Amino acid sequence: MSLYHEGAEVLVASSTEGGSLKSRIFGRRNIKSTPGQLYALVFETCKWSSVLKEVIDASAILSIEKKLTPILALLLAHDLLLAKGGVALPKTHGLRVTIEKHKARLTSELTRARLRRRAPSMEALKEQIDRAAAGEEAQIPRWVRINTIKTTVEEQLDTTFKGYEQVTTIDEVLAPSTNPAGGKQRRILIDPHIPNLVAITQGIDLSKTEAYSSGKIIFQDKASCFPAYLLDPLPEDGDVVDGCAAPGNKTTHLAAICHARRPDFETQESQKIFAFEKDKRRSQTLTKMVKIAGSQGWTRVGFGQDFCQVDPTGEQFAKVGALLLDPSCSGSGIVGRDTMPELHVPEGSPAAGSNKKVDKGKGKAPQINEDKGKKRKLDANEAAQSSVMIDDEGNETVVNSEKDLEARLQALAGFQLKILLHALTFPAAKKLTYSTCSIHSQENEHVVMKVLESEIATRRGWRIMKRSEQVRGMRDWPVRGLKESCGGDTEVADACIRSYKGDGYGVMGFFVAGFVRDGSKDEEMDPDGPYMRDERGMIIRDVSGMPYLKTTGKPVELLPRDDSEVEDDEEDEDGDEEMDPDGPYVRDAKTGMIIRDDNGMPFLKRKSKPGELTTIRESEADEEEDEEEDEEEDDDEEEEEEEDDDEENDHNDAEVDDEEGSDDEEEDEYNETGDDDDGVDWEGFDD
């Protein structure tokens, strides 16, 4: 069966089958044609059918070619008159021979149809047709993000967009682009909110330019740029996670932002991006996108990996400080998702009209009153479309009532809340953005409020990112959240960012909100303390027994001493303690905090060698403190009190000598318990 017969089948079935055009074609079994080619043929034929109907009717080819059906005539005429390659059939094929016999007459009628529409050129006619078929898409320009990993805005203005007229408003970009002489006017707007983003005139094909093929420019809706820009990852924020990354626009936007702030030299500690996608097919798209954008050097793709299954306490995620989450949603804000243009069917021949049976293989259209038949077709299409909800990943769900819609939205919101709460548990995380391409409050403000009310957010100190704390472009964006959907909380509603289709800003429907963690509450309220723990709740340690800190993802490090310091300690322990400004206890090299065991007892310097720690008994700790207090006594105290102090110091020295004899026993005891949860502990750390 030829491409055109399969296309006729799709068009005949469109009035009775539910679902989108893409799902009906790409989900169709036993087709011989390439799905992409079949989809393009059917869609473009529908888009041009109002003109093609006039051409076919005026040429009267259906009355001449008795075996040619109206829908087949539409498909063949489209490719003959409008496709660059002409009819996609062998020269001797019957259908091609039939339609090409009438090429001169059809071409002449196409010219007349163009002039009736007052289009000075085919380019102008094409723009008219595109606008008529676009619907809500006519209100949105082509958004292009300049990939600063590979180029600059200035470079692209001098190359790819050379000769474009710079304008200052969306309305100017959307104005008709064909001048009276039939020439194409090209306009460009540098966006005032998102850096390195431009809007250009509709209908300009940049997909074949060098800039697009090399990844210098990326097609990305303005609203889709909100999450990464709002997150604004800085080098001090540590590593970044994109939890639902495919197809990769937001991931590569994150990469471009991080790249602009990278140091001149790279180390193992350089900022990384972890991009997760559980669907393997979409993971391939993500991997390709990352490579084209040039960010593969610092982007780690979790191929086929579910973000919700990732262990936040894993060593490789210890420095993750910023997360971007754009989970699956209803996709209700997406513009022009598979909008099916109206199909105009030519008048059939009397012979064809008398045959009311529609040939499945030939795709014959019902020959009844055109207006009534057209209306019935449109009603059937609208009913079929209204019963199917297509999410942002292209998955379809049958929705027959408001109750079904609410159930679907609640299911999506449950998943969205789950992934958000999981993200809040990353130990070093300080900020996070949550976004959807949905206009429904159930997926947006309601989810935000549930997160803020959650136990994990309260315990770890997460709160909404206030509008005053947002980057300038997002702070200036005028469309904010719905107060009534935030329980009347004005501050939370003002912190949420929205956009709507057809609101005059040239973007799709979108929602984004940011969360930040102050950090001061975290360690105070975290019962697990400052250390990383495994699934059993046990502290994770290195081979020497040192625990891993949540804040750094590395084991605790002790400051080693050289041999001269050890000799000095052996010669005069008391003198060393008097001269050491840090006192007699072992302290952390970075924070200066005293290292203690699980009972709170400090470790003595003079009883420790590098890598070996020995606790002191409570009595000894008290006596050490007494020693320091005694040394601070005034020299003018009465002779009787000084004698008492000397006696007490002698007593302390005797105890110290006794204690040294038990060093080996205490070290053995520590080594036996060093790998268990009762080993060394820390105090005084703040995240």
Report CA-CA distances (Å) from 47 to 6, 40, 51, 99, 483: 18, 10, 9, 20, 41
Asked if residues 78 and 40 have their Cβ atoms less than 8 Å apart, the reply is no
For residues 128 and 182, give the distance between their C-alpha atoms in angstroms, rounded to a whole number: 12
244 is catalytic: no
Asked if residues 316 and 276 have their Cβ atoms less than 8 Å apart, the reply is no
What is the H or E stretch that residue 299 is in? strand 299-303
Give 593-596's long-range contacts (Cβ < 8 A, gap of 24+): 593/682, 593/683, 593/684, 593/685, 594/683, 594/684, 595/556, 595/558, 595/680, 595/682, 596/681, 596/682, 596/683
Count CB atoms within 10 A of the CB of residue 405: 17
What is the H or E stretch that residue 132 is in? helix 122-134
Nearest Cα residue to 358 out of 330, 342, 339, 377: 377
Query: What does the DSSP 8-state code read for residue 135?
Result: G
Asked if residues 74 and 52 have their Cβ atoms less than 8 Å apart, the reply is yes
Which residue in the block uniquely carries the two structure tokens 């602009």? 260
Query: Coil, strand, or helix at residue 204?
Result: coil
Concatenating the DSSP letter of every residue in 518-549 gives: -STTHHHH-TTTTB-B-TTSPBPB-TTSPBBB
For residues 338 and 46, give the distance between their C-alpha atoms in angstroms, rounded to a whole number: 12
Nearest Cα residue to 319 out of 238, 254, 258, 242: 238
Nearest Cα residue to 528 out of 516, 542, 540, 514: 540
Catalytic hit among 225, 244, 329, 437: 437
* Half-sphere exposure for 516 (CA within 13 Å, toward CB): 16
Q: Which residues are CB-contacts of 33 (< 8 A; sequence separation ≥ 6)?
A: 3, 6, 7
Residue 208 identity (one-letter amino acid): K
Nearest Cα residue to 167 out of 125, 136, 137, 200: 200
For residues 431 and 514, give the distance between their C-alpha atoms in angstroms, rounded to a whole number: 7
Longest dimension (CA), the chain: 134
Q: Which residues are CB-contacts of 383 (< 8 A; sequence separation ≥ 6)?
A: none
**Structure token pair of residue 445:** 């403000």
Query: Quick one: 123 exposed, middle or buried, by C-beta within 10 A (0-12, 13-18, 19+)?
Result: middle
Q: What angle do CA 377, 383, 388 make, to 5 degrees?
A: 130
Asked if residues 241 and 324 have their Cβ atoms less than 8 Å apart, the reply is yes
Q: Which residues are CB-contacts of 644 (< 8 A; sequence separation ≥ 6)?
A: none
For residues 57 and 604, give the distance between their C-alpha atoms in angstroms, rounded to a whole number: 100
Asked if residues 416 and 424 have their Cβ atoms less than 8 Å apart, the reply is no
For residues 81 and 598, give the distance between their C-alpha atoms in angstroms, rounded to a whole number: 84
- Catalytic residue numbers read 437
